[in-house]
């Protein structure tokens, strides 16, 4: 171990995107290794709007592993962190920084303690895949720090053991998690189907829906489904190949039909679970109705929807023009509460709001019913059903932030800034 005074600290800051499945992962064949019962496909979301930033630091002056999430210290003793730490540590290799006079051998990494600080630029546990981005970022940043030589596929298999869908956050663009066959999970890895530039027309709008009820955690939910649903075994496996083709060919109608049908089928097997699981609520249903009516009126899909284990809608518009028309419809049906600032109601890429021509609440109130609504009843509007909208797009994979000012830990104290 190097450094004359043992006062050195080595630090890496990584940034990792979140992802949204368009062919859902639901059900494990191995609970410990987190091995799924089917392949899944996701779109990586632009980290400018939804990402986790994690700084990992190692120093001989640290006397235990510690972690802070969004500034608050949390326990590292839970299984998912422990699996990832153990797996990464076992793959650490010799590191040397001659300039700083630091040398860490493979064996040193087993003894040195870590400080980890993680920050989500979006609400944690709001059903926006914060654990996927978080675990992926932890694995990515630790791998960089510890000079791990494994490729991203192998890293994805480690992230997978932290949180299943985390494995899909190791790449940008479109990602497939191959379920694999091996008992040890070595072939249950994520691969990139296409990068974020392949289909850059797409625009994604997330409706963060206000939930009145506590939700079933996805971990216990999928366990119950596997144990009790008679329909789960009949989920359509062909959709994976069809979705791969749709992505490859930038075939939006097929992409939309497959994504919507798979989301609905996922929620159907949740309902077929005993006791039944409801993730979507009335607001989710109304968002679907709004999109379905519009798609039908246009004769071909303009927007795809997909819902994870919660009521939030993730809406994929075929292009910017469609996204503006979608946002118009969403603001018409789900206006903000009177005391809400429009600026905090539509976040992320606000340029889409400009395309809509909506600048303030007066403009929202002046919106007229979309042409596909024949029998509009004003009482159907309900303020407050949506908390806010996030405008984003498919985005890039993990990156190392080399600018030390973006680190979340103080290089001297090793504590959160």
Picking from 150, 399, 199, the residue whose alpha carbon sits closest to that of residue 319 is 199
Using CB under 8 A as the binding rule, whether residue 71 contacts a copy of itself is answered as no
- Selected range binding a copy of itself among 93-101, 283-291, 321-329, 343-351, rule: CB under 8 A: 283-291
List alpha helices for 91-238, DSSP H: 108-111, 130-145, 152-162, 218-228
CB of 204 to a copy of itself, least distance (A): 21
Using CB under 8 A as the binding rule, whether residue 1 contacts a copy of itself is answered as no
- Report the half-sphere exposure of 315 (CA within 13 A, side-chain side): 33
Tell me the per-residue interface mask from 297 to 336 with a copy of itself, x by CB under 8 A, - otherwise: ----------------------------------------
Pair of tokens at residue 324: 């503006």
DSSP string over 303-370: EEEE--SSS-EEEEESSHHHHHHHHHHHHHHSPPPTTS-HHHHEEE-THHHHHHT--SHHHHHTPPPP
- Compare residues 125 and 236 and give the one whose CB is closer to a copy of itself: 236
Residue with tokens 């609440």: 361
Q: Determine if the peptide bond prior to 275 is cis (ω within 30°).
A: yes
CB of 380 to a copy of itself, least distance (A): 7
- Selected range binding a copy of itself among 33-41, 200-208, 280-288, 396-404, rule: CB under 8 A: 280-288
CB of 152 to a copy of itself, least distance (A): 34
Picking from 142, 26, 12, the residue whose alpha carbon sits closest to that of residue 76 is 142
Cα separation, 102 vs 59, whole angstroms: 10
For a copy of itself, the binding residue among 126, 261, 367, 401 (CB under 8 A) is 261
- Selected range binding a copy of itself among 1-9, 136-144, 287-295, 401-409, rule: CB under 8 A: 287-295
- Selected range binding a copy of itself among 123-131, 149-157, 247-255, 263-271, rule: CB under 8 A: 263-271
Cα separation, 33 vs 83, whole angstroms: 9
For a copy of itself, the binding residue among 69, 126, 178, 271 (CB under 8 A) is 271
**Helix or strand holding residue 94 (H, E):** none
Using CB under 8 A as the binding rule, whether residue 282 contacts a copy of itself is answered as yes
CA–CA distance from 173 to each of 212, 243, 250, 367 (Å)? 33, 14, 13, 34
CB of 237 to a copy of itself, least distance (A): 10
Helix/strand/coil for 160: helix
- Compare residues 32 and 289 and give the one whose CB is closer to a copy of itself: 289
Q: Which residues contact 171 (CB under 8 A, 6 or more apart)?
A: 44, 152, 156, 190, 191, 192, 195, 397
Instruction: Number of residues interacting with a copy of itself: please give it, by CB under 8 A.
Output: 30
> 356, 342 in Cβ contact below 8 A?
no
For a copy of itself, the binding residue among 147, 219, 254, 264 (CB under 8 A) is 264
- Compare residues 31 and 282 and give the one whose CB is closer to a copy of itself: 282
> 356, 321 in Cβ contact below 8 A?
no
- Compare residues 86 and 381 and give the one whose CB is closer to a copy of itself: 381
For a copy of itself, the binding residue among 296, 350, 381, 417 (CB under 8 A) is 296
Using CB under 8 A as the binding rule, whether residue 64 contacts a copy of itself is answered as no
> 295, 250 in Cβ contact below 8 A?
no
Tell me the per-residue interface mask from 227 to 256 with a copy of itself, x by CB under 8 A, - otherwise: ---xx--x-x--------------------
Using CB under 8 A as the binding rule, whether residue 225 contacts a copy of itself is answered as no
CB of 120 to a copy of itself, least distance (A): 26
**Helix or strand holding residue 56 (H, E):** strand 51-59
- Selected range binding a copy of itself among 120-128, 245-253, 267-275, 363-371, rule: CB under 8 A: 267-275
Using CB under 8 A as the binding rule, whether residue 378 contacts a copy of itself is answered as no
Binding site for a copy of itself (CB under 8 A): 212-213, 230-231, 234, 236, 257, 260-261, 264-265, 267-269, 271-276, 278, 281-282, 285-286, 288-289, 292, 296, 380
């Amino acid at each position: 171990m190097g450094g004359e005074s043992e006062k050195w600290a080595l630090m890496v800051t990584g940034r990792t995107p979140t992802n949204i499945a368009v062919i859902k992962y639901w059900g494990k064949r191995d609970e410990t290794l987190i091995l799924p019962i089917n392949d899944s496909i996701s779109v990586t979301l632009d980290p400018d709007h939804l990402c986790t930033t994690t700084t990992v630091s190692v120093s001989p002056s640290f006397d235990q592993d510690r972690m802070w999430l969004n500034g608050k210290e949390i326990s590292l003793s839970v299984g998912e962190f422990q699996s990832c730490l153990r797996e990464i540590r076992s793959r650490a290799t010799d590191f040397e920084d001659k300039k700083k006079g630091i040398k860490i051998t493979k064996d040193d990494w087993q003894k040195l303690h870590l400080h980890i600080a993680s920050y989500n630029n979006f609400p944690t546990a709001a059903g926006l895949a914060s654990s996927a981005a978080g675990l992926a970022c932890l694995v990515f940043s630790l791998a960089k720090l510890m000079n791990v030589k494994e490729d991203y596929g192998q890293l994805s298999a480690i992230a997978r053991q932290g949180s299943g869908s985390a494995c899909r956050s190791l790449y940008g663009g479109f990602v497939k998690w191959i379920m694999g066959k091996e008992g040890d999970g070595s072939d249950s890895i994520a691969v990139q189907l296409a990068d974020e530039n392949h289909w850059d027309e797409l625009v994604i709008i997330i409706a963060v829906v206000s939930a009145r009820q506590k939700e079933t955690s996805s971990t216990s939910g999928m366990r119950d489904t596997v144990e009790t649903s008679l329909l789960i075994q009949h989920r359509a496996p062909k959709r994976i190949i069809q979705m791969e083709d749709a992505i490859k060919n930038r075939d939006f109608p097929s992409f939309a039909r497959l994504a919507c049908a798979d989301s609905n089928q996922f929620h159907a097997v949740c309902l077929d679970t005993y006791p039944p699981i409801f993730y979507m609520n009335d607001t989710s249903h109304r968002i679907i109705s709004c999109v379905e009516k519009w798609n039908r009126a246009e004769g071909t899909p303009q927007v795809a929807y997909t819902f994870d284990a919660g009521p939030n809608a993730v809406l994929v518009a075929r292009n910017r023009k469609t996204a503006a028309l979608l946002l118009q419809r969403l603001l018409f049906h789900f206006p903000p509460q009177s005391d809400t600032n429009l600026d905090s109601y539509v976040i992320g890429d606000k340029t889409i709001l400009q395309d809509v021509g909506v600048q303030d609440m007066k403009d929202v109130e002046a919106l007229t019913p979309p042409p596909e609504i024949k029998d509009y009843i004003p009482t159907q509007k309900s303020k407050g059903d949506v908390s806010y909208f996030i405008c984003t797009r498919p985005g890039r994979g993990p990156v190392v932030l080399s600018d030390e000012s973006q680190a979340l830990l103080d290089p001297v104290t090793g504590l959160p800034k």
